[in-house]
Structure 1
C-alpha cells in the first residue's frame, strides 16, 4: 500500500490546508475553508494550478474565491475570522512583487487586531536561475532580500519554503500560530515561484485530517487570589471588556458576573457586543470615543478589571481616563504581553471565559455599594437620554452623521452586523450604536484602516453564510475611506453576496478635518476641493464634481441616492428597509453635514501640537493640549 503521493509543493499545501480543523470545546470547523487569490506569473503555475486541480477533483477541498485587490483579500479574511471568533479564516494567495506587497497593509491589520489570516505571497526563484525576474526587488547589499521580507515585522509567523522538503515543518508551525489565541495574527508563508511547481513524495499522513484544539488556559491560583482580593476591596470597580471576551465566547459568563456583583462595564471597540446596549451594567464605549457615562465612572474607578483588552490609547484616553490616584488594574488576558501592560502587578494570564467562571465562584456574595449601583444607573440613564436626543429628527436638509447613525439603527434588526473602520464613524458608532447581538458590531479600530469597510464587510458576510447565518451586514463608510478601496463591490456582485453599503458623503476627510481644527491646523488639506493655484491649497468653496453613486452603479450595484432635503432621514430609513427586504446588494448614497458632531463623552486623545508656531490657531491649541496632557499618567497601575 502506498504511503506517499507524488505532488507539487502547491498541490501538497492546498491538500494539507483542506484537512485542517479547529476544535473549540464542542465546536469543530474547518480552519481554512477557502482561499482568495489573484494570479500572476509568480503563482499561476503553482498555487493557481493546484487550486484548479482541486476544483476539478475535489471541489469542496479548497474553494477558490476571486478578488480584485490583494490588500482587500486579507481584509476579507479578517472579517471572516471575526464572525467565526478566530476559529476559522481564509488564505490569501498573491503573485510576486507588487501583488505580494499589496498584502502588507492587510498583514499589519490582522496582526494588530489579533485576528488570524494566512498569507501566501509568491517569491522570486529560489534557484536564482532567471535572476532578476520581472517584478523582483534587488538590493545590492543583500541579494537574498525580497519584497516578502517586509512581511517579517508585520507577521506573527514568517517563513520561506526554499526547498520542497521544508513544506512540512513550515505548514505545521504556521497552523500552530494561526490557532493559538495568544499568538495569532498574520501568518505568512513565502513561496518561491519555482519551488511552488517542484514535486516531492508527500507522506499521506501530511494530507489527513488534523485537529488544532484552541487553548483555554485556566487562571493560576496565586494571581487569581490576588485579583479577587483587589476586587473585593473595591468600592468603585469597573470592567473594561475587549475583544478577548467575544473570541472566548464569554459574553454569558460576563453577564452572569456583572448581574451578581453589579460591576459596571465599559467596552473597547473590539468588545462591542459583549452585553446588549440596554443591559443595566453596560455603560457603552469607554475612552477617547467613549460615552460620558463610561468615562465618568472610569475617572473615579478604584479597581479596573481589564478582560481581553489591549488597552490601546483610545481605550485609556491616552492614559487620562483613570484618575483615581490609587487606582489598581486587574488585567485578564490569554496573552502575557497584554496582561502585563502599563505596569500592573495584578495580571491574570488566562482565557477570558475560564477566568470569568473562576471569578464568579470566588466573588460570590460580593456586590458593589448601593450608592455606586445607583450612580451607575443614573449615568446610564442620562447618556441613553442624550442618545435619544441625538437621534431625534432634525429636519435638516443635510443631516449630521449622528442622526444618520440613528436612522440606520432604527430600521436594522437586532442581529444585523454593522461594519466600519476609519474616519469619524468609529467614534460615533462607539458612542451611539446600540448593539443587540454579540456579533452585531465590527469596527476595525486596532489598525483603523481606511478602505477596510467594504472588503471586511464582504468577509464578514462570507463568514456568516459559511455558518448558515443569513443576517444582514451593513457597511457604513465615508467618502474618503470609500475612495481608498471600493473594488470588492465587484466581488459581491460577481458572487451574489448581499451587502448593504451606506456611503456618507462628507466631501472630504471628516474625522481628520475635525482633528485638524483641534490641533490648530484649520482643516488644511482635508476638504475635497479644486486646487487653487494662487493660494496653492485645496481650501476653496467649490466641491468636486465627483459622483460616487455613479461609480458604485458602474460596478453593478443597485444604487439608491438620497436627495438633500427635510425628508432625507425618512428617505434613508425607507431605503435601508427596502435593502433589507431585497436579495441583492444595495448601495445607498446620502449627503451629510460633517460639522455636526455626536455628544461629547469627555474622552481625550493625545495628538501632539507644535511647541511653537506663528499661527494663532496652533498657539491656542497648544495651550489646550498642555492642560489635557497634565492628566496623563506614565503607568496605569
Structure 2
C-alpha cells in the first residue's frame, strides 16, 4: 500500500480537491473553494497548505466569519446543494463567530463545511491566545459550541483521525434528508503534524445523490388518502427545489386539479404564472392559499418541514376538523410531523409514483371554479397593495399592518418630518419587480421584507428567490447576495435588507468588490426594527427600543427624533456606487441607474414605517402576557387564547 507523508492541513486540502457529486447523470466537483480569515490558529497550518498547493480550490478572503459562512450557505443554496464553499477560522472568537451561521445552515438543511481552529491538542502551551478555559473540564473549547448546531461534529486530536472524520463529514453534507452544518475542529498544533496517509484516501470520490422512491406500502396509503379527498392543497417546499421537481409538481397538479402553494424555501421552484399556483401560504402567505385552506380536507406537504409560519401556527391550515396531512419528504423526521401519513422519498420520484396510480384510477379533485376565482381576487389585491403610495392623506385601498391608527399616524408624521421619505415598502417591492431583470436573484432574510416578498413577488425564472427564513437570521442578506453572485455570476443579484439588518452585518461588501462580483444592496430604511415594532404595538405593548430614535432628555426614553443614517456613504466607503431615494420616482430612477453600473451598488431608500403588507387570514402564535395592567395587552391575550382554542395540537 503506497503512502505519502503530509501534514493534516495538506491532507485536508488534497481531500477536498477530490470530492465530486453526481446527480441525474451530471458529475461535477463538489467543493469550489474555501473562505478564510487567517488567524494564529490556522495561518501556518491549514493556511500553509492552501498557499503551497491549493489545487483547484479558490481561496476567498472573508471579512467576518459569520458573514463568510452565510455567503457559503447562499452559494450552496443557489447550486441546489450540489456545490459548496468550505469555511475556516482561527480559534476562540473567530470560531465562535461561525456558530450563528452553523445554526442557519442546519435549520435550513443546507450543507456547510466548517474548519474552526482549536487549542493545542497537547495542551502545551496552555492556555494559548484566545483559548477559553473551563476549569472543570479542560477538554472543552470554543469549538464545542458547534455541537448543538451541527449535523456532524468532530475534533482531530491525532492526524490519522482525519480520515474517518472527513469521510463522515461528506456523508452528512450529501445527505438530502439530514444535511446541514458539519464542523471539523482542527487543533492548531495538529494542523502542522505529519502522517503517512494511504494514497487511496485521496482517490476521486463521487458522491451520488440518489432519487429514492417511497416504499410501495406508503405510496398505496398516499394514493388512498388523496382519492378520498375532495379539496386537497399541495405545499411545495424547499425539497421540491433541491429535487428539481418543479415540473413534476405542475404535471401532478394539472392532472388532478390541485392548487399549489409555496413556502419561502420552495419559491421559484416553479413559475408563479402556473395556472394552479396560489402563492405563499401561512403567516407570510397571501389570500389565495390561505383562503383555500379553510375548506381543504387534505394537505399534501412536499419537501416542507411544516414550521409555524407555513402552518399558521397550526391554525390557518386546520380549520376543517376532518383535515388529513400527507407528508412527502426524504427525511423520516419531517415526514412524521403533524401526525401525517408519511411517504418517505425523493419529491420528484415519489410524486411520479403517486401520479401513475392516481391517473390509473381516474382521480380528479372536487374543485370547480374556486381556484381561478381566488387567484383573480388575490391578483387584484396584490396589484393594489403594490401600487399604494403615500400622499399625506392616507393610503386608499390595500391592506397594511394593523396598528392603533393614532400610533400609526404619529409614527408616519414623525418619520416624514425627521427623515423625509415617503416611499411605501410594498410600492418599493413593486417598482423593483418592474425594473430589474426577469432572471435577477433577490436575497432577503429577516424583518417585514420576507412577508412582502412571499406575498407580492412573482417570478417565472427558476431559482431566483433566495430567502433565508428558517432561522430568519438578520445579517444574512448581503453575505447571501455575495454567495448567490459567486454561484450565478451572469445574473444580477439584489440584497433587499432593512436598516437594522444592514447595521448588523455588512462586512462582506468588500469581498464582493474584491471578487468583482456585482451585487446591488437595497436598504429599506424605516429607522426601526419595523417588523418587531409592529408585533409589539399590535399586541398592546408600547413602542419600546424598536424604533431608532434619539434619547429624549425630557422623558428619558428613546422616543425623540428619528436617527438619520446615510447608508449611501457607508457603501461608498467600501467602494460601492451610491444612489438615494426618498420618493417612489427617485427610487425607480435609482434602480434603473444601478442596473446600468458594472460594479456593486447601494440604494439608500427611505421607506415609511407601517407600510408592509398585512397578514391574510393567518395567525402567528407568540407568548403574549397573561397578566397585565394594560387593557390593550389584555385584549391581545384574549385573541391569543381564542386562537389557541381553535388550533390543532400535535
Aligned residue in 2 for 1:623:
638
Q: Does residue 591 in structure 1 map to residue 587 in structure 2?
A: no
Quote how far apart the aligned CAs of 1:336 are. Answer: 0.3
Q: Does residue 459 in structure 1 map to residue 483 in structure 2?
A: yes
Aligned positions of 1:59-70 closer than 5 A = 60=56, 62-70=57-65
Quote how far apart the aligned CAs of 1:533 are. Answer: 4.7
Instruction: Say whether the 8 Å CA contact 2:387–2:426 is kept in structure 1.
Output: no
Instruction: Say whether the 8 Å CA contact 1:512–1:523 is kept in structure 2.
Output: no
Q: Secondary structure at the match of 1:606?
A: coil
Quote how far apart the aligned CAs of 1:457 are. Answer: 1.1
Aligned residue in 2 for 1:86:
81
Report the TM-score when normalising by structure 2.
0.93
Quote how far apart the aligned CAs of 1:395 are. Answer: 5.7
Say which is worse superposed, 356-365 or 108-117, in terms of deviation: 356-365
Instruction: Give 4+ residue runs of structure 1 displaced > 6 Å after superposition.
Output: none
Q: Hey, what's the Cα distance between the residues in 1 that align with 2:556 and 2:187?
A: 47
Instruction: Say whether the 8 Å CA contact 2:388–2:426 is kept in structure 1.
Output: no
Quote how far apart the aligned CAs of 1:514 are. Answer: 0.4
Quote how far apart the aligned CAs of 1:595 are. Answer: 1.3
Quote how far apart the aligned CAs of 1:367 are. Answer: 1.8
Aligned residue in 2 for 1:544:
563
Pairing partner for 1:506 from 526, 530, 533: 526
Q: Hey, what's the Cα distance between the residues in 1 that align with 2:211 and 2:622?
A: 38
Pairing partner for 1:443 from 467, 470, 494: 467
Aligned residue in 2 for 1:227:
222
Say which is worse superposed, 446-455 or 586-595, in terms of deviation: 586-595
Q: Hey, what's the Cα distance between the residues in 2 that align with 1:145 and 1:599?
A: 47
Aligned residue in 1 for 2:618:
603
Q: Hey, what's the Cα distance between the residues in 2 that align with 1:366 and 1:42?
A: 62
Aligned residue in 1 for 2:364:
367
Q: Secondary structure at the match of 2:580?
A: strand
Q: Secondary structure at the match of 2:84?
A: coil
Aligned residue in 1 for 2:108:
113
Q: Does residue 305 in structure 1 map to residue 300 in structure 2?
A: yes
Report the CA distance shift for 1:182/1:600 in structure 2 as closer, same or farther (over 3 A).
closer
Quote how far apart the aligned CAs of 1:545 are. Answer: 3.6
Query: How many residues are treated as equivalent by the alignment?
Result: 618
Pairing partner for 1:352 from 328, 341, 347: 347
Aligned positions of 1:180-579 closer than 5 A = 180-321=175-316, 322-344=318-340, 346-364=341-359, 365-369=362-366, 372-392=367-387, 394=389, 396=391, 398-465=422-489, 470-540=490-560, 542-562=561-581, 564=582, 568-579=583-594
Quote how far apart the aligned CAs of 1:534 are. Answer: 4.7
How large is the Cα RMSD of the aligned pairs?
A: 1.3
Q: Secondary structure at the match of 1:404?
A: helix
Instruction: Say whether the 8 Å CA contact 2:571–2:601 is kept in structure 1.
Output: no
Quote how far apart the aligned CAs of 1:570 are. Answer: 2.8
Report the CA distance shift for 1:494/1:586 in structure 2 as closer, same or farther (over 3 A).
same
Give CA deviations for 1:28-63 in whole Å, capped at 9, x if unaligned: 1211110000011100111111111124xx4x2x11
Say which is worse superposed, 110-119 or 595-604, in terms of deviation: 595-604
Q: Hey, what's the Cα distance between the residues in 2 that align with 1:103 and 1:252?
A: 36
Aligned residue in 2 for 1:8:
7
Instruction: Say whether the 8 Å CA contact 1:390–1:599 is kept in structure 2.
Output: no
Quote how far apart the aligned CAs of 1:438 are. Answer: 2.4
Name stretches of at least 5 consecutive residues in structure 2 with no aligned partner: 392-420
Name stretches of at least 5 consecutive residues in structure 1 with no aligned partner: none
Quote how far apart the aligned CAs of 1:278 are. Answer: 1.9
Q: Hey, what's the Cα distance between the residues in 2 that align with 1:351 and 1:439?
A: 19
Q: Secondary structure at the match of 2:13?
A: helix
Instruction: Say whether the 8 Å CA contact 1:288–1:603 is kept in structure 2.
Output: yes
Q: Hey, what's the Cα distance between the residues in 2 that align with 1:373 and 1:463?
A: 43
Quote how far apart the aligned CAs of 1:3 are. Answer: 2.0
Aligned residue in 2 for 1:47:
46
Instruction: Say whether the 8 Å CA contact 1:419–1:442 is kept in structure 2.
Output: yes
Quote how far apart the aligned CAs of 1:577 are. Answer: 2.6
Quote how far apart the aligned CAs of 1:393 are. Answer: 5.6
Quote how far apart the aligned CAs of 1:599 are. Answer: 4.6
Instruction: Say whether the 8 Å CA contact 1:180–1:215 is kept in structure 2.
Output: no
Q: Hey, what's the Cα distance between the residues in 2 that align with 1:632 and 1:539?
A: 38
Quote how far apart the aligned CAs of 1:524 are. Answer: 1.2
Q: Hey, what's the Cα distance between the residues in 1 that align with 2:224 and 2:648?
A: 24
